[in-house]
Structure 1
Amino acid sequence: MKTIFEHIKGDKTIWAIVAILAIFSFMPVYSASTNLVYVVGAGSTLGYLLKHMVLLIMGFGIIYGVHKIPYRYFSGGSVLMLPIVILLLFITLMQGTTIGGANASRWIRIAGIGFQTSTLAGLVLMVYVARYLAKNKEKEISFKDSLLQLWLPVGLVLILILPANFSTTAIIFVMILIVTFIGGYPLKHIGIILGAGIFALMFFILVAKAFPDAMPNRVQTWQSRIESFSDSENKEAYQVEKAKIAIATGGPVGVGPGKSVQKNFLPQSSSDFIFAIIIEEYGFVGGFVIISIYFLLLFRIFVVIRKTTTIFGTLLVIGVGLPIVFQATINMAVATNLFPVTGQTLPLISSGGTSIWMTCFALGMILSVSASKEDTEEDILDDNPLDILHETI
């Protein structure tokens, strides 16, 4: 055990939180997978559990590998990755595949493995925004210059994600506005960008309404999810009602591990609505513990921010750390009918490959920052992306 701790760096509490969430996830995923086995008739419960375990083990490998990389490399790496991400998003939009009933334009297959490109895009974009703000921290930011260097890449990525995944687009956009505000970007310019974003969304909705064959069912899906709060015949309302029954059934201590009934009726019981299954099986106590763990993660993220010596490091941790907690909050709010259905998973607990891996990549970045004590702003921002590529090769 001592040897293991000698090889891992960074905030040990974050390591512990990740391990606790991952280990705890085994039982809810195993339990909820019976829906896919006995209702849908696909695979076996043991098979789904083993798949989830393999994905988490790979995720820990990602965390370990990423946290060993000096975080200054992420700055230039984001510049290299941005064109690749844009290309992947374009390919996904044009010829994506349907996985688990999800919209076809969210997924592509790489070497036979389904990959949701929007999660990678969000991560790369947050690092890119942190880099831009850190590079321009000591000088007055020109709105005209920032339109080309900052908002053009941001807008292009978000436009490519929007047709298939509004919730992810909204989360990324909100997180970027938060990071830019904290990074000292002029507030009046943020207001202009916010207005432009709202206008772009309205324009997209009008175009989608005018040409429904070009983007079938997307605006209708958003509309139905909003209406599901009051429409009991809606599919999303059906899921939320079953989730509410699961939560009400759980009571203080739950019905016991594996004894959930509503998992057999919730289509996304192992992913989008797994929090409801957790409360049904482990009760209010179990739900409260999960919420507390995520809040502890948020607290440790702020501890890392406080100890970070560079602006880029601070903005990087904010940019990749807050979305994890924000996503968890949205997932739990959906399960408790406080928010419309969004399709956001519960980080490190819900089943799913891309979501787990990108969460682990973000956590690896945070741990890399927390493990570093010697980098200066000049060391980080003077990195030439081509030099990084050469060193990698």
Structure 2
Amino acid sequence: MMAVTRADDSTLGRWWWTVDRLTLGALFLLVAIGFVLMLAASPSVAERIGAASRHAFIGKQVFFLAVACALMVGVSLLSPRQVRILALLGCAGALLLTAATLVIGPEVKGARRWLPLPGFQLQPSEFLKPCLAVTCAWLIALGRRPGSRFPGALAACGLFAVAAALLKLQPDVGMLMVIAAVLASQLFVNGLNMFAVVAMGGAGVALFGAAYALLPHVQSRVHRFLDPNAGDNYQVEVAMEAFGNGGLLGRGPGEGRIKTVLPDAHADFVFAVAGEEFGFILCLILIGIFAFVVVRGLVKLLPETDRFTLIAATGLLTQFGLQAFVNMASSLHLIPTKGMTLPFISYGGSSVLAIALGMGFLLALTRRRTGPTGRSESDA
């Protein structure tokens, strides 16, 4: 096997010496941990729902993880210009498919978020998240070019409004909150005065208040969070029991019992399975890996001079970190429950592939690109 040297001028050689290998390694480590936890959690779930095989979920997830790794590496080879084009096309396609779910998508638990495909349920809104973040960053950056009269920030807010309307109709309030937080972080990095920051905070509170007032399922989740006796808190109570059973070092691989009675043990509550079988130590490691990816990404952006790269990467990191926080905090009953996957850990094809796409965008944008003068070539 030939080693990749600095003298290697091939596409792969240039990629290897310019990509952030520490972030790439951390993401691959999450994929490996996700595979292990899927082996631990999914067979019991498959048995409980009467699947054809105990390994029905494992086989699908291994395929999705393999495709996700290839997608992440492939996208990270792109130039910033190619990232913008792919994100723009992806955003347009995801918006159209998200709208299609309202017409032809099956209703599941009162929501229409999926499109049925052979052997696979596609959730287009998952792909909307990374593509929308990059597209909004491009619009905002266009508006800040010298001499430009293009209302970039206003255009980004208009695109967000379209996406928000579709998510409200599904409904998917959690996803809506995530993309709103991503856009807010991007506008903040772009430069906002304190009045605008306060106004954005007030708009966020108003949005949550409207969701609480108008959507019964949001009211139910808030009431159950504040008062355990207000409704069915079965999954949260079982998850908390799992963390208690695991203690510091866990009961051991395959020795967990909660996964046999926890409906979403392989998906939204896989963090609880990690806590029971591998203990507080693995939970802490997982939190550390997610924090490392986000913090390292933000640190690498400190010297960045290209506005598009700065805004897009900030949005992608906000999305990645916020999704991980919401999942883990829900499992620990720190916030109201929200059906949101743990990146690269939870079962779900659309989620895994969309996260890989977003992290591929991030790796592509943060690659070292300097010409002979030392100036950034991020617009190449």
Structure 2 counterpart of 1:64, which letter? V
Question: CA 1:321–1:76 in 2, change beyond 3 Å: closer, same or farther?
Answer: same
Tell me, yes or no, if structure 1 residue 330 matches structure 2 residue 326.
Answer: yes
Which structure 2 segments of 5+ residues have no match?
Answer: 5-11
Q: Secondary structure at the match of 2:116?
A: strand
- For residues 196 and 187 of structure 1, what CA distance do their matches in structure 2 show? 14
Picking from 282, 299, 302, the partner of 1:286 is 282
Question: Is the Cα contact below 8 Å between 2:309 and 2:378 reproduced in 1?
Answer: no
Residue of structure 1 in register with 2:231 after alignment: 234
Residue of structure 2 in register with 1:387 after alignment: none
Tell me, yes or no, if structure 1 residue 50 matches structure 2 residue 59.
Answer: yes
Aligned residue pairs: how many?
Answer: 366
Question: CA 1:3–1:359 in 2, change beyond 3 Å: closer, same or farther?
Answer: farther
Higher mean C-alpha deviation, range 133-142 or range 63-72: 133-142
Residue of structure 2 in register with 1:252 after alignment: 248
Counterparts of 1:175-194 in structure 2, within 5 Å, are 175-189=182-196, 191-192=198-199
Superposition CA RMSD, Å: 2.8
- For residues 269 and 350 of structure 2, what CA distance do their matches in structure 1 show? 18
Question: Is the Cα contact below 8 Å between 2:327 and 2:340 reproduced in 1?
Answer: yes
Question: Is the Cα contact below 8 Å between 2:256 and 2:273 reproduced in 1?
Answer: yes
Structure 1 counterpart of 2:350, which letter? T
- For residues 265 and 350 of structure 1, what CA distance do their matches in structure 2 show? 17
Picking from 122, 132, 141, the partner of 2:129 is 122
- For residues 194 and 83 of structure 2, what CA distance do their matches in structure 1 show? 27
Q: Secondary structure at the match of 1:162?
A: helix
Residue of structure 1 in register with 2:304 after alignment: 308
- For residues 306 and 285 of structure 1, what CA distance do their matches in structure 2 show? 31
Structure 1 counterpart of 2:314, which letter? I
Residue of structure 1 in register with 2:7 after alignment: none
Shift of 1:241: 0.3
- For residues 148 and 234 of structure 2, what CA distance do their matches in structure 1 show? 49
- For residues 246 and 196 of structure 1, what CA distance do their matches in structure 2 show? 37
Shift of 1:168: 0.9
Shift of 1:346: 0.7
Tell me, yes or no, if structure 1 residue 22 matches structure 2 residue 43.
Answer: no
TM-score, length basis structure 2: 0.87
Tell me, yes or no, if structure 1 residue 151 matches structure 2 residue 148.
Answer: no
Structure 1 counterpart of 2:155, which letter? Q
Q: Secondary structure at the match of 2:319?
A: helix
Picking from 317, 321, 328, the partner of 1:321 is 317
Higher mean C-alpha deviation, range 241-250 or range 359-368: 359-368
Structure 2 counterpart of 1:86, which letter? L
Residue of structure 2 in register with 1:34 after alignment: 43
Question: Is the Cα contact below 8 Å between 1:260 and 1:281 reproduced in 2?
Answer: yes
1:52-78 CA-to-partner distances (Å, cap 9, x unmatched) read 111100001101110111022223444
TM-score, length basis structure 1: 0.84
Residue of structure 2 in register with 1:388 after alignment: none
Which structure 1 segments of 5+ residues have no match?
Answer: 209-218, 384-393
1:154-195 CA-to-partner distances (Å, cap 9, x unmatched) read 111011112321011001101211110111145534554555
Residue of structure 2 in register with 1:161 after alignment: 167
- For residues 204 and 242 of structure 1, what CA distance do their matches in structure 2 show? 27
Picking from 254, 271, 292, the partner of 1:275 is 271
- For residues 377 and 35 of structure 2, what CA distance do their matches in structure 1 show? 44
Q: Secondary structure at the match of 2:229?
A: coil
Shift of 1:50: 2.0
Q: Secondary structure at the match of 1:254?
A: coil
* Aligned sequence identity (%): 25
Tell me, yes or no, if structure 1 residue 243 matches structure 2 residue 252.
Answer: no
Q: Secondary structure at the match of 1:109?
A: strand
- For residues 25 and 234 of structure 2, what CA distance do their matches in structure 1 show? 36
Residue of structure 1 in register with 2:341 after alignment: 345
Counterparts of 1:99-138 in structure 2, within 5 Å, are 103-110=110-117, 113-138=120-145
Question: CA 1:343–1:200 in 2, change beyond 3 Å: closer, same or farther?
Answer: closer
